[in-house]
């Protein structure tokens, strides 16, 4: 699998699936979650309600339609909330390995990822980057390209340094 980094907006990526850093309720939220729901339109929320009436557990992954996004699917993962005391790193890495497993089930060959839990959930950024890169590089998958989408040049430079290391 090819691991790449781009500076851009995850909602505009021309990929088979985008990964959403969702909350347990699966009803939209802030940050990446809010952006994906806004760009994907009401179809994403309706599919979340239908597929996940009780939400999704921390560390778990599931999919919905991409709605109005360029991507066909949204793979939702619920990262651990470090700021609220959820500090088990395996919950964070399971978001990435679980997303790849879902992508394989769907037949997705290109997948765009955000840095899960590194925003409002407060996971230390350096470790969030290492967890993403290590897990994406070591998880067996049929995905051909895993793309980490950085929002802004500074974030791109940080992530690219970890990918290149």
Q: pLDDT digit string (tens) for 69-87?
A: 999 999 999 999 999 999 9
What is the per-residue pLDDT across 135-164, written as a single tens digit (0 to 9) for each?
Answer: 999 999 999 999 999 989 999 999 999 999
Contact present, 7 and 155 (Cβ < 8 Å) = yes
Domains of the chain, with CATH numbers? Answer: 2-164 (3.40.220.10)
Decide if pLDDT at 8 tops 80. yes
Paired residues of 4 in beta bridges: 147
What is d(CA 81, CA 116) in angstroms, rounded to the nearest whole number?
A: 10
Decide if pLDDT at 112 tops 90. yes
What is the per-residue pLDDT across 11-32, written as a single tens digit (0 to 9) for each?
Answer: 999 999 999 999 999 999 989 9
CB atoms under 10 Å from CB of 102, counted, come to 21
Residues taking part in catalysis:
33
Long-range contacts of 127-134 (CB under 8 A, 24+ apart): 127/89, 128/92, 129/158, 129/159, 129/162, 130/162, 131/89, 131/92, 131/93, 131/96, 132/96, 133/3, 133/159, 133/162, 133/163, 134/93
Query: Is the pTM for the entire model greater than 0.95?
Result: yes
């Amino acid at each position: 699998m090819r691991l790449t980094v781009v500076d851009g907006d995850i909602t505009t990526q021309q990929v088979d699936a985008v990964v959403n850093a969702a909350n347990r309720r699966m009803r939209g939220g802030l940050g990446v979650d809010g952006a994906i729901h806004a760009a994907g339109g009401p179809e994403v929320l309706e599919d979340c309600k239908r597929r996940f009436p009780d939400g999704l557990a921390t560390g778990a992954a599931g999919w919905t339609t991409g709605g109005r996004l360029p991507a066909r699917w949204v793979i939702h993962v619920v990262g651990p909330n470090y700021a609220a005391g959820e500090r088990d790193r395996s919950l964070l890495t399971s978001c990435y390995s679980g997303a790849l497993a879902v992508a394989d089930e769907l037949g997705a060959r290109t997948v765009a990822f955000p840095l899960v839990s590194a925003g409002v959930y407060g996971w230390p950024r350096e470790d969030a980057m290492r967890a993403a890169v290590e897990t994406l590089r070591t998880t067996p998958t049929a995905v051909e390209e895993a793309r980490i989408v950085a929002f802004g040049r500074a974030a791109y430079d940080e992530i690219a340094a970890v990918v290149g290391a």
